[in-house]
Amino acid sequence: MYLALYRKWRPKRFADLISQPHITVTLQNEVRQNRIAHAYLFTGSRGTGKTSMSHIFAKAINCLHPIDGEPCLSCEICRGLEDGSILDVVEIDAASNSGVDNIRDLREAANFMPSRCRYRVYIIDEAHMLSTGAENALLKIMEEPPAHVVFILATTEVHKVLPTIRSRCQRFDFHRIRTEDMMARLLMIAREEGLSLTGDAAQLLARIADGGMRDALSLLDQCASFSQTIDLKTVSTAAGIAGRDDLFAVSEAITAKKPEDALKIIQELHDRSRDLERFCEELLDHYRNLMLMKTLDHPEDMVICLPEELERLGALAKRCPLSEILYCMTVLQDTLALLRRTAGKRVAMELCMIRLCTPSLSEDPTAILSRLDALEAALRAGAAVPVTASPPEPEGSPSFGKMTEWPEVLERIRKKDALLYALLSDSSAYLRGDTLLIDSPNHMLRQMIRQNGYSKTIREALAEQTGQTYRLALRGNKAEPKESELLQTILRQAKAAGVPDEPSAGTPTEER
Ligand SMILES: Nc1ncnc2c1ncn2[C@@H]1O[C@H](COP(=O)(O)OP(=O)(O)O)[C@@H](O)[C@H]1O
Ligand SMILES: [Mg+2]
Ligand SMILES: [Zn+2]
């Protein structure tokens, strides 16, 4: 049977454990000096060596001939613990149902002497998952621990462990595995396994695994099933970070404020049955990369991408203000949460694109910042600050009369759909017979009404307000917004959100 690499390469000695010297040195010293505590708490993210360390330590304190604090791995105890014929080291998975029962039994069993070893060791994995009953049972034993019992609690979420339990343990915080350490180990394992792994591929593996050795080894396993020679391309294919043109295309559309383009890409992805939730996750990672490009002196250490993509990312990052990147990350995070609980993934993703392309719709502080940046850039480029004008009366349609109840209708729409309301915020409405003409300067309204069934919402609000049904007509500019219009919208909405549109307002400047 094929044994997964991460299991085959489970560390057997303290010396095999990488990147945790602050822990191995201390524990090894305790073994050497025979100063064993009753309870240990190992915390840290997954794949950092907590379980491996527990087993090494359990062997080390029971080994008949420890070598400088390390288990010898050859005495009958070491071998018996390894092959499971000695049962004095007990591993309890607190995440499973039996975990609770195990702790109850443990209270009885802990009082008996170990059968072969010096210490009976209880390794309680996922200790934060213990039920209250089990926690209390455990606490009882820990309050008066029998001399021959050692507890090792391992957890990824230490704050969920009862403080009274925590305070009785010697605590060790496992760090994420450092990239250099992980690379070196991956290269060593690959060599031993007869795989040819290139240095840059090892580095990419390490960066993707984000400090978790198990994930790195699983990914290496996956790569090895493609080919014996593992280079950047193998890794990027196995990890699914190849072929990311879609991500670039969407972010280009967002930066260019072209919702039509972004929506078109979503449509294509949908047609190709692409998983939109996954796409949203990838887009979030992509923006994280942009953020790193923008803020770090040496982003290549942390950005997860192919080397040839670095330049492209850099060029894109140059054109995106940081505020816009942060705004996009916030929106994408919201959307991801929404995607996980809605069936209407496509609509959610479309709304997301609209929000990303038009920060002017959002009251989110990052959106306002992003708007201000755009405003500043436009002003710097020489744009004049326009005077906000009320929309003109529609010409050439004298028989239309202004609809006086429109503000009330809008109020009803606001309660049904905040985004639609925002899109309609600058509109006026005119009536003739059973036709309602909406006049709006917002170029996106037309598209949104066509694509998202918004006309139904408007008609419902109209019917509720007036008791009549109307046909809808739309009037406004079909063309792309001109720069000055965009600016006008940004200004108006920044003002509405309470952001002053003159940076120097209130303070005297040289010009005055
Ligand atoms: N510090 C480390 N040094 C070497 N290998 C490690 C380390 N941490 C994890 N690994 C690798 O990952 C696998 C899983 O590690 P494990 O000890 O179960 O991590 P945890 O319990 O923290 O999730 C191990 O079998 C080993 O291959
Ligand atoms: Mg573990
Ligand atoms: Zn031994």
How high is the mean pLDDT in each 10-residue block of the chain (512 residues)?
92 97 97 96 97 98 97 98 95 77 78 92 93 88 92 96 96 95 97 96 91 96 94 88 83 92 91 87 93 88 81 91 91 92 86 86 68 70 46 51 88 82 81 85 70 80 90 66 49 52 35 33
Domain with CATH 3.40.50.300 in the chain: 5-173
Place of tokens 């710097």: 380
Domain with CATH 1.10.8.60 in the chain: 179-238
Domain 401-483, CATH: 3.30.300.180
Nearest to 206 by CA among 226, 184, 174, 234: 184
Q: How far, in Å, from the CA of 9 to the mean position of ligand 1?
A: 9
Residue 7 tokens, joined: 């299991």
Q: How far, in Å, from the CA of 177 to the mean position of ligand 2?
A: 15
pLDDT for the residue 306: 79
Alpha-carbon distance of 260 to 245, in angstroms, equals: 18
Strand duo 39-43 + 89-93: pairing: unpaired
Q: How far, in Å, from the CA of 157 to the mean position of ligand 1?
A: 17
Q: Hey, which CATH number is domain 5-173, 3.40.50.720, 3.40.50.300, 2.40.160.20, 3.90.1170.10?
A: 3.40.50.300
Q: How far, in Å, from the CA of 50 to the mean position of ligand 1?
A: 7
pLDDT for the residue 480: 44
Q: Whose CA is nearest to atom 4 of ligand 1?
A: 17
Rounded to 5 degrees, what are φ and ψ at 84? 85, 10
Are the CB atoms for 176 and 211 separated by under 8 Å? yes
Domain with CATH 1.20.272.10 in the chain: 245-357
Rounded to 5 degrees, what are φ and ψ at 172? -130, 125
Paired residues of 251 in beta bridges: none
pLDDT for the residue 331: 92
Place of tokens 């305790």: 30
Q: How far, in Å, from the CA of 70 to the mean position of ligand 3?
A: 8
Q: Using the atom order of ligand 1, give the atom closest to the CA of residue 46.
A: 23
Which ligand number lies closest to the CA of residue 125? Answer: 2
Domain with CATH 3.30.300.180 in the chain: 401-483
Alpha-carbon distance of 45 to 457, in angstroms, equals: 47
So what's the architecture of 179-238 in CATH?
A: Orthogonal Bundle (1.10)
Angle separating helix axes 132-143 and 98-109, nearest 10 degrees: 20
Mapped onto helix, strand or coil, the DSSP state of residue 474 is strand
Residue 214 tokens, joined: 């198990």
Q: Whose CA is nearest to atom 24 of ligand 1?
A: 10
Q: Whose CA is nearest to atom 8 of ligand 1?
A: 49
Residue 482 tokens, joined: 């001109």
Which ligand number lies closest to the CA of residue 48? Answer: 1
Best residue among 6, 10, 52, 93 to mutate for probing ligand 1, ranked by most atoms within 8 Å of CB = 52
- What are the pocket residues of ligand 1 if the criterion is a CB atom closer than 6 Å to any ligand atom? 6-7, 9-11, 17-20, 46-52, 154, 177, 213-214, 217
pLDDT for the residue 479: 47
So what's the architecture of 245-357 in CATH?
A: Up-down Bundle (1.20)
pLDDT for the residue 387: 36
Taking CA atoms, 511 is separated from 35, 328, 503, in Å, by 76, 37, 14
